[in-house]
Amino acid sequence: MNICILDAETLGEDVDLSGLDQLGKVKIYPFTPKDGVIERIQGCEIVITNKVILDSSNLPYAPSVRLICVAATGTNNVDLKYARREKIMVCNVAGYSTPSVVQHTFALLFYLLEGLSYYDSYVKTGLYSKSQVFTNLQRPFWELNGKTWGIIGLGTIGKGVAKVAKAFGCKVIYYSTSGQNYNADYDKVGLSELLQQSDIISIHAPLNSQTYNLLTYDSFKLMRPNAILLNLGRGGIVNEFDLAKALDQDLIAGAALDVLDREPIEAHNPLLKIKNPDKLLITPHIAWSSKESRQRLVQEIVTNIQGYLKGSPRNQVI
């Protein structure tokens, strides 16, 4: 059986892929451009993709494909309607990155909240060695204890963040983007109420018609001037032009983003040109990517293929 991985570079060179060798003949491609997809999937029964698009523009030329394994939770890069019609099984992987994303959420927060970049530079540039006092209070920060943490999207990751925030002494409130989520452990509120009450707001929701452009300039006007926004959901949830404007006008204290509307970031993105760059932290979509998380991802792909061979895949989407 022929298996191909179209974008192995997104999994990292340090991840062990040898488990796939027991399942068939594996071809590994670090990256596959759009015009190279057809050639690479032809003759393969199983295709593994993270972000490479598989749809009616390429799948009809590879009738041998019977299983698509998405190396992620989201399946927006696969034409599910086409796959269903052609009886191509699609499997994803859910829950593998939760510990990693929860950890990165707090890494982003503390970097901003405690001005770590400023203080690190203060010491390493020699300014501290010239100081007459033992400390530096130029970037005051506040404690999490007693503050309100608002979560947009209280799914598996949101619940993980809520648990840690509560351990720090935060009051946790949440907004359900679907309107259907209920959790008795925390207070469910409307979006406007969450924006007005929260000192920290973290986003852990999927991107869909209900969440696209959810936070705009009017949203930022509702937030507290000391508030910090963290987006670890999807980039399109936050209007980036409006966020840049809000940061420049000091409507909020800061923002940290691990996701953007277009990835990689475009050179003309207004977030790259805000007046005070210290108010903004951007990481290149790495929250999910601890080594342990990526290895769990690969193992779940192996498990999905094993299940397919036995007729019962564990994470079948269609």
Q: Mean of the per-residue pLDDT values for the chain?
A: 97
Six token digits for residue 255: 């923002």
In tens, the pLDDT along 210-228 reads 999 999 999 999 999 999 9
Burial 65-99 (b: 16+ CB within 10 A, else e): bebbbbbbbebebbbeeebeeeebbbbbbeebbbe
pLDDT at 257: 98
Distance CA 155, CA 125 (A): 43
pLDDT value at 315 more than 90: no
Question: Confidence class of residue 63 from pLDDT cuts 50, 70 and 90?
Answer: very high
pLDDT at 314: 79
Please state the pTM of the whole predicted model: 0.94
Question: Confidence class of residue 11 from pLDDT cuts 50, 70 and 90?
Answer: very high
Percent of the chain's residues with pLDDT above 70: 100
pLDDT at 313: 74
Is residue 263 part of the annotated active site? The answer reads yes
What is the pLDDT averaged over residues 120-126?
A: 98
What is the pLDDT averaged over residues 152-159?
A: 96
Which of 91, 92, 33, 36 has its CA nearest to residue 62?
Answer: 36
What is the pLDDT averaged over residues 62-77?
A: 96
- CB count within 10 Å of CB 232 equals 25
- State the catalytic residue, choosing from 39, 143, 263, 292: 263
pLDDT value at 49 more than 80: yes
Handedness of CA 177, 210, 192, 217 (dihedral sign): positive
pLDDT value at 131 more than 90: yes
pLDDT at 179: 87
- State the catalytic residue, choosing from 234, 294, 296, 300: 234
Question: Confidence class of residue 112 from pLDDT cuts 50, 70 and 90?
Answer: very high
Is residue 204 part of the annotated active site? The answer reads no
pLDDT at 312: 82
What structural domains and CATH numbers belong to the chain?
2-96+291-310 (3.40.50.720), 98-282 (3.40.50.720)
Is residue 285 part of the annotated active site? The answer reads yes
Please say whether the beta carbons of 32 and 52 come within 8 A. yes
- State the catalytic residue, choosing from 285, 294, 296, 300: 285
In tens, the pLDDT along 237-261 reads 999 999 999 999 999 999 999 999 9
In tens, the pLDDT along 172-204 reads 999 999 888 899 999 999 999 999 999 999 999
pLDDT value at 156 more than 90: yes
pLDDT value at 300 more than 90: yes
